[in-house]
Amino acid sequence: MGSPVETADAVRHVAIAGNPNCGKTTLFNALTGMRQKTGNYPGVTVERKIGRFFGSHGEPMLLLDLPGSYSLQVRSLDEAVSRDVLLGRREDTPRPDVIVAVVDASNLERNLYLVAQLLDLQLPVVLALNMVDMAEQAGIHLDIKGLEEALGIPVIPMIASRGVGLIELRQALSCQPLPMPARKAPIPEAMEREAQALAQELKSAPEVAYSEALLLLTQHEQGLKEQADAATVQRVQAAQQRLRSQGIDPLSALVELRYEWIADICARYARKPEEAAYQLTLSDRLDAYLTHRIWGWLAFVGAMALMFFSIFTLAEYPMEWIEAGQEWVGELAKAWIPEGDLQSLVVDGIIAGVGGVLVFLPQILILFFFLGLLEDSGYMARAAFLMDRLMSSVGLHGKSFIPMLSSYACAIPGIMATRTIENPKDRLVTILVAPLMSCSARLPVYILMIALLLPQGTSWAKAGIMLSMYALGTATAFLMAWLFKRTLLKGETPMLLLELPPYRLPSLRNIVIRMVERAGIFVKRAGTVILALSVILWALLTYPKPADPEIPRGEALAQSYAGKMGHAIEPFIKPLGYDWKIGVGLIGSFAARELFVSTMGMIYNLDDEHAEEVDSVKEVMAKETHPDGSPVYTPLVCIGLMVFYVLAMQCISTVAVVRRETNSWKWPLFQIAYMTALAWIGAFLVVHIGRLFGFS
Amino acid sequence: MSSEAISQQTGAPVVLSELSVGKKGRVVRFDLPPDQAGRLAEMGLTRGSVVELVRIAPLGDPIDIKVRGYHLSLRKREAAGVVIELL
């Protein structure tokens, strides 16, 4: 977010912890307003949200929104970050002074499990009992005093979405000194002794040693070996053996005892209505339709179609405005800067580069608006529930579906949307295959090649070819996902554990904040890379300058570095039936696929006005011949080129986003390599199999 | 006869993946790798907890169960490792 977050004067560091779907982020937004900032934890792609708020005496405090987690015994990257911050293991984030444990009052039993673990941390804890209105609606009778007494920590009833309870929460956080939890969550006595003994031997700081010891003691063998050195593993295993000999299973005894404790607390102080009075909630009734065999699919297809259609159509207008604005600024620059290299750099390099970044913004904003709606309403989990079977057939998770679908519009928001996939391998596979889905930038290329291929074709035939290109991309994406899950990113198929939260009215405020965040991340981080690469590409197409400035631009382009590269790659693309001019087109469109049309226009000496038009480019291309007089753009070459563009990466913006989302250059480079190889093989097969069957 | 029907007569344990929609059971034990069993327990599916099979996804997998008052979805593959007694 825009406003800076001043941290130096904060008197307290407050961390918000809680399960996913408990309203953590709503509470964070309610406390901080716009005084917040989103970034990444260094080294991992886990979102780090910090903000600033004021205690009840106006003292500034720092607020950290930890990623949602179900347990400190971690299973995902998000949970690992939460645990590490709470245990003070991260150098970039100091250990908090107090924890706000947010729980959903209508789903108290499971939510309190994490709270029980937080009580072990030897930090002050304040319980934000959120969504008390939902609990009341469900007929749950909450006894706040009783809960405070049983848990030993202050309990603040809240409705964060309406700001109810914020004043009381601020008061509790301003308390001087902050009270430590008056109680500990129960633990089998023998286990506590072992944990205390183990804590003495760990090298951790004394205030976290007990928690660390307890987490190790309840860890299974595999997890232990990943977390601790050999000596510690041995020590822990010996302790586990001693416990087992006393009939205590270290892995399950603590969890079971704590759930018993929680169930007892809930039975007393969060009484549910009698079974007889219990009615199906609105959420349950909605689910009967939204996950129904027929209605469920209709609703799903409808929702996806609406989202997809909006990205395609609504985004068109702002995209046109941005393009018009870019042109206007370009004209302005032309008027101010004298003709020459500087003008060309500013207009064709920088302004075109910035425009190339901004033009994606409308699609990103619209997609994230819909994703926010789907996520906040609880429908996203149902979509994953519906699609999981299909996606698991290629080894992916139901949650991979929406990023892949979004990539039909544009791979950039699709790849940014993969953050909802917890499993890092699944997420990476989804990122790797998402650009294979035919995005809207491929359309101009398809349209040009289809026009060349079928000058007299009916609309149906043209649409048929177009559709088969989309099908080819989709099938390849699934095939590659399957392949990657079996080779490169092999590993246990992680189990699906998907909470289906009750449906809720989404909060517009949360959604808008997240939209702006995403847009900011894209412009700031990806934008700089895109701009730099655009300038480099501009230089390749411009330099070295021809000695004679009057020669046609096609020849000037031929002499440029890009032209030379076109010549240099000719041997590699000759088997595909391409000449060096198509090679220049491929290089020129490396930044963005749609640039293929204008680069081809330039190389065939069209003037500015005509180079952008598919029809005029098509005409000159149709007349183009090899030196021996045979046409360059035979039907097979046209189909081959289309297949090439279906499968090739050809998009700097996607490269930049993948680099950002995977935190390394390794994966985007791999992606360019494998997709270019696929594209070459695809085009090669088209041309050569076609020739075998007597086509040309 | 389905294994569920047999269980109803004999009290023999069945697995969660074979429970029919709307039926409830109590978790007896897990035939799962320790990390998976541990995770299910931490999500509230402990030994002794009561589960209800609410629905099966339209494509036949995964399933939606109700445990400790909330809805959780898991695949049949893992549900087949959750041994329950019918209630």
CB atoms A223 and B72 under 8 Å? no
* Tens of pLDDT, residues A589-630: 887 787 787 778 777 766 666 666 777 788 888 888 888 888
CB atoms B41 and A113 under 8 Å? no
CATH of the domain at A253: 1.10.287
- Of the partner residues A223, A251, A389, the one whose CB lies closest to the CB of residue B57: A389
pLDDT band at A6 (very low <50, low <70, confident <90, very high): low
Is A16 in the same domain as A128?
yes
CB atoms A497 and B38 under 8 Å? no
Q: Is residue A194 domain-resident?
A: yes
How is residue B13 written in tokens?
């344990």
Position A101 pLDDT exceeds 60:
yes
CB atoms A297 and B58 under 8 Å? yes
* Tens of pLDDT, residues A251-276: 899 999 999 999 999 999 999 877 64
* Angle, helices A108-118/A253-269, rounded to nearest 10 degrees: 120
Position B82 pLDDT exceeds 60:
yes
Residue A299 identity (one-letter amino acid): A
pLDDT band at A83 (very low <50, low <70, confident <90, very high): very high
Which pLDDT score, from 0 to 100, does residue A540 have?
86
Is A112 in the same domain as A216?
no
Q: Is residue A239 domain-resident?
A: yes
- Residue of A496, A503, A504 to mutate, testing the B interface (most B Cβ within 10 Å of its Cβ): A496
Is A72 in the same domain as A107?
yes
Is A139 in the same domain as A91?
yes
Q: Is residue A642 domain-resident?
A: no
Q: Is residue A120 domain-resident?
A: yes
Among the listed ranges A94-103, A141-150, A354-363, which one has the minimum average pLDDT value?
A: A354-363
pLDDT band at B65 (very low <50, low <70, confident <90, very high): very high
Is A142 in the same domain as A202?
no
Among the listed ranges A56-65, A294-303, A404-413, which one has the minimum average pLDDT value?
A: A404-413
Q: What share of chain B is helix, strand, coil (3-state, %, to 5)?
A: 30, 35, 35
Q: Of A516, A598, A520, A586, give the one whose Cα is nearest residue A554.
A: A598
Its pTM surpasses 0.90:
no
Distance of alpha carbon A243 from alpha carbon A193, whole angstroms? 10
Residue B7 backbone phi and psi in degrees, to 5: -60, -40
Is A238 in the same domain as A99?
no
CB neighbour list of residue A203: distance below 8 Å, 6 or more residues apart: none
- Residue of A134, A215, A389 to mutate, testing the B interface (most B Cβ within 10 Å of its Cβ): A389
Contacts of A291 in chain B (CB under 8 A): 55, 57-58, 64
How is residue A29 written in tokens?
């937004």
CB atoms A497 and B70 under 8 Å? no
Element (H, E) at B71: strand B70-74
Q: Is residue A77 domain-resident?
A: yes
- Count of domains for chain A: 2
CB atoms B37 and A75 under 8 Å? no
CATH of the domain at A105: 3.40.50.300
Distance of alpha carbon A155 from alpha carbon A143, whole angstroms? 10
CB atoms B58 and A496 under 8 Å? no
ipTM value for the complex: 0.91
The last residue of a domain, from among A151, A174, A197: A174
Residue A206: burial class (beta carbons within 10 Å; 0-12, 13-18, 19+): exposed
Is A132 in the same domain as A258?
no
* Tens of pLDDT, residues A325-348: 988 998 999 899 888 888 888 887
Q: Walk across the sheet containing B70-74 and list its strands.
A: A498-500, B70-74, B63-67, B50-56, B24-30, B82-86, B14-15
* Tens of pLDDT, residues A563-580: 889 899 999 999 999 988
CB atoms B38 and A70 under 8 Å? no
CB neighbour list of residue B8: distance below 8 Å, 6 or more residues apart: B86
Its domain, for residue B71, covers: 3-86
* Closest CA–CA distance from residue B11 to any residue of chain A (Å): 24
pLDDT band at A186 (very low <50, low <70, confident <90, very high): very high
Which pLDDT score, from 0 to 100, does residue A290 have?
93
In A, minimum Cα distance to B61 occurs at: A389
Question: What CA–CA distances, in Å, run from A685 to A170, A464, A575, A691, A692?
Answer: 67, 20, 10, 10, 10
Is A27 in the same domain as A147?
yes
Which pLDDT score, from 0 to 100, does residue A608 have?
64
Is A129 in the same domain as A23?
yes
Is A75 in the same domain as A168?
yes
Contacts of A83 in chain B (CB under 8 A): none
Chain A residue set in contact with B, beta carbons under 8 Å: 70-71, 73, 75, 106-110, 113, 218, 220-223, 251-252, 255-256, 259, 263, 272, 284, 287, 291-293, 296-297, 381, 385-386, 388-390, 392, 398, 495-501
| β-pair type (A155-157, A270-271) | unpaired
- Give the E-state strand segments of A472-546 in sequence order: 498-500
Distance of alpha carbon A421 from alpha carbon A429, whole angstroms? 11
Its domain, for residue A155, covers: 12-174
CATH of the domain at B53: 2.30.30.90
Cis peptide before A177 (omega within 30 of 0): yes
Contacts of A497 in chain B (CB under 8 A): 39-40, 43, 72-74
Element (H, E) at B56: strand B50-56
Is A20 in the same domain as A133?
yes
Residue B44 identity (one-letter amino acid): G
- Could you identify the residue written with the tokens 């892949």? A404
* Tens of pLDDT, residues A212-225: 999 999 998 888 88
CB atoms B73 and A293 under 8 Å? no
CB neighbour list of residue A533: distance below 8 Å, 6 or more residues apart: A353, A591, A652, A655, A656
Contacts of B35 in chain A (CB under 8 A): 75, 220, 222-223
- Count of domains for chain B: 1
Q: Is residue A57 domain-resident?
A: yes
pLDDT averaged over every residue in chain A? 87
CB atoms B47 and A259 under 8 Å? no
The last residue of a domain, from among A253, A277, A301: A277
Alpha-helix residue ranges (DSSP H) falling in A589-665: 595-603, 608-611, 614-623, 635-647, 652-662
Using CA of residue A317, residue A323, residue A326, residue A332, what is the dihedral sign? Answer: negative
CB atoms B61 and A388 under 8 Å? yes
Which pLDDT score, from 0 to 100, does residue A241 have?
95
Is A147 in the same domain as A196?
no
